[in-house]
């Protein structure tokens, strides 16, 4: 007789399902409902919530600080995304062309991604971006006869933060590109060489064309990391929210756990929940668009 494995499957799956429901699904549903209610504290009992419809969403869109945060997010996603993807792809192509010391350079480029964001941000803020002559970037500029740049003043702070963040993210996206390139058959390149294709044509018509799946993955992961951008803003402006470094999650944190002097507002967990829902919608929208536009190739022409 065939043994009934259903009880065993239920026994093994139940802890995982319960953990998923408690840790992920319940907070998600609670946050979604909270976004349509007037709620002061995130721990307030549901019985005290007052339904307010789309008021929280309207309040967030009409807030100048949130508008600035969304603008900063857009700049981070677009400008930072182009820079990170370009550098990651260049490094990935270089390291998969049989160069010596591939493992060493791959480890060096990926290493910043292993360092905690707080440590990395502090290092960049006080050493690399220092306005003094010993700052790394100012030292490099000095080699070419330039003067010291005030990297942390209001005009440069956002771009300083963006440079520091991109520095730590290139290695992660490089590995995704490398995994895609290494799946491409060498026969394609050999056939292209026989036909007289140069390096640029090989890259465009073979490498880049067969990296659609990796590009899609990188775009989605970059969107997730951009939307979740939080720690760097706290490191560059640890006391109050600043228009130069504020991101949606920084503003949401201030609303949920206590407003800073820059916001001049009482706690409002309902609006904070609405912002969280909007960030989730952005990620889902980008994922859906990239899935629709960029088809997975499975390394096949």
Structure confidence at residue 289 (pLDDT): 92
Structure confidence at residue 241 (pLDDT): 78
* pLDDT tens track for 139-188: 777 788 777 777 778 788 898 889 889 988 999 999 999 999 989 888 88
**Enclosing domain of residue 86:** 59-115+165-293
Structural domain includes residue 194: yes
* pLDDT tens track for 73-128: 999 999 999 999 999 999 999 998 877 778 888 888 888 888 888 888 888 777 76
Tell me the percentage of the chain whose pLDDT exceeds 70.
91
**For residue 290, which of 225, 227, 223 has the smallest C-alpha distance?**
223
Structural domain includes residue 227: yes
1 has a pLDDT exceeding 70: no
- 203: domain CATH number is 1.10.3720.10
Structural domain includes residue 151: no
Structural domain includes residue 66: yes
Structure tokens at 191: 């056939």
Phi, psi for residue 263 in degrees, rounded to 5: -90, -35
Question: What distance in Å separates the CA atoms of residue 286 and residue 289, rounded to the nearest whole number?
Answer: 5
286 has a pLDDT exceeding 50: yes
Band of residue 296 on the pLDDT scale cut at 50, 70, 90 = low
Structural domain includes residue 170: yes
Band of residue 255 on the pLDDT scale cut at 50, 70, 90 = confident
**For residue 63, which of 228, 235, 259, 230 has the smallest C-alpha distance?**
259
Structure confidence at residue 87 (pLDDT): 95
* pLDDT tens track for 226-253: 999 988 888 888 767 788 889 999 999 8
What average pLDDT is seen over the chain? 85
Cβ atoms of residues 133 and 148 within 8 Å: yes
Q: Please spell the DSSP secondary structure of the chain, one letter per residue.
A: -----HHHHHHHHHHHHHHHIIIIIHHHHHHHHHTTEE-SSTTS-GGG-EE-TTHHHHHHHT-HHHHHHHHHHHHIIIIIHHHHHHHHHHHHHHHTTT-TTHHHHHHHHHHHHHS-HHHHHHHIIIIIS-SSTTSHHHHHHHHTTPPPP-TTSTTTHHHHHHHHHHHHHHHHHHHHHHHHHHTS-HHHHHHHHHTT--HHHHIIIIIIGGGHHHHHHHHHHHHHHHHT--HHHHHHSSSS--TTT--HHHHHHHHHH---TTT-----HHHHHHHHHHHHHHHHHHHHHHHHHS---TT--
What domain count does the chain have?
A: 1
Structural domain includes residue 268: yes
Where b means 16+ CB within 10 Å and e means fewer, 71-91 reads: ebbeebbeebbebbbebbbeb
Question: What distance in Å separates the CA atoms of residue 254 and residue 58, rounded to the nearest whole number?
Answer: 18
Band of residue 263 on the pLDDT scale cut at 50, 70, 90 = very low
Place of tokens 């953990």: 19
Structural domain includes residue 283: yes
Structure confidence at residue 2 (pLDDT): 60
Structure confidence at residue 70 (pLDDT): 95
Q: What is the mean pLDDT of residues 51-77?
A: 93
Question: What distance in Å separates the CA atoms of residue 219 and residue 50, rounded to the nearest whole number?
Answer: 38
Cβ atoms of residues 73 and 87 within 8 Å: no
Structure confidence at residue 301 (pLDDT): 46
Structural domain includes residue 41: no
């Amino acid at each position: 007789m065939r043994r009934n494995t259903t009880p065993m499957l239920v026994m093994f799956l139940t802890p995982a399902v319960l953990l998923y429901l408690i840790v992920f699904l319940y907070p998600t549903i609670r946050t979604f409902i909270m976004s349509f209610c007037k709620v002061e504290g995130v721990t307030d009992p549901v019985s005290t919530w007052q339904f307010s419809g789309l008021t929280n969403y309207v309040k967030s869109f009409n807030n100048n600080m949130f508008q600035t945060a969304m603008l900063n997010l857009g700049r981070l996603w677009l400008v930072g995304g182009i820079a990170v993807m370009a550098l990651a792809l260049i490094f990935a192509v270089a390291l998969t062309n049989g160069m010596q010391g591939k493992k060493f350079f791959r480890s060096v480029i990926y290493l910043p991604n292993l360092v905690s964001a707080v440590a990395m941000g502090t290092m960049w803020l006080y050493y690399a971006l220092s306005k003094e002559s010993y700052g790394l970037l100012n030292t490099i500029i000095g080699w070419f006869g330039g003067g010291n740049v005030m990297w942390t003043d209001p005009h440069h702070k956002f771009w300083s933060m963006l440079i520091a963040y991109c520095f730590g993210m290139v290695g992660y996206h490089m590995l995704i590109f490398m995994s895609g390139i290494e799946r491409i058959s060498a026969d394609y390149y050999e056939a292209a060489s026989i036909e007289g294709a140069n390096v640029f044509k090989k890259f465009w018509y073979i490498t880049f064309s067969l990296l659609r799946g990796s590009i899609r993955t990188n775009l989605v992961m970059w969107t997730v990391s951009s939307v979740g951008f939080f720690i760097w803003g706290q490191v560059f402006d640890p006391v109050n929210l600043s228009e130069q470094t504020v991101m949606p999650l920084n503003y949401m944190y201030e609303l949920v756990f206590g407003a800073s002097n820059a916001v001049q507002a009482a706690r409002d967990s309902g609006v904070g929940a609405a912002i969280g829902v909007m960030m989730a919608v952005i990620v889902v929208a980008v994922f859906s668009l990239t899935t629709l536009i960029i088809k997975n190739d499975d390394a096949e022409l």
